[in-house]
Amino acid sequence: MDRIPILRMGDCLLITIQVDLDDRIALQLQDDLANKIADTHARGVLIDISALEVVDSFIGRTLATIAAMARILAAQTVLVGMQPAVAITLVELGVSLTGIHTALDVEKGMAFLRRTIPDRGTTVPDAHAKE
């Protein structure tokens, strides 16, 4: 796999990480995302890492860098679906993920983005569950 696809949904970008990130793919994602935010004027970035089972300090820092970069480009980042073991590892590694909001699943993450992104007459995907 060359790169992780970035899907545009309304004002948000959705990234699903399905493979254990190696350094090259992580850096590629960082570049791609910065360009995509600039191109699409996205206001929110949702990163699903539910399939990620292993994380090291480099990946943790890369996620933090991605969020910081998105913030400078005026987009809010939400990290969803983190497995408990990954959370434990990140804390033990001392990676604090400053500036990244987290949510348990994609729906909760989207709901968070809809609440926090200022209304500019644009649309953030409505991901309210039916219940």
C-alpha distances in angstroms, 27 versus 24, 48, 82?
A: 5, 17, 20
* 99 vs 109: CA distance, rounded Å: 15
Q: Is 24 in the site for a copy of itself (CB under 8 A)?
A: no
Burial of 47 (0-12, 13-18, 19+ CB in 10 A): buried
d(CA 124, CA 114): 6
11, 33, 62, 97: which one contacts a copy of itself (CB under 8 A)? 11
Q: Which of residues 71-90 bind a copy of itself (CB under 8 A)?
A: none
Give the residue with the Cβ less far from a copy of itself, 9 or 93. 9
| Closer residue to a copy of itself, CB minimum distance, 87 or 91 | 87
Interface with a copy of itself (CB under 8 A): 1, 3-5, 7-11, 14, 16, 18-19, 48, 50-51, 105-107, 110, 120-123, 125-130
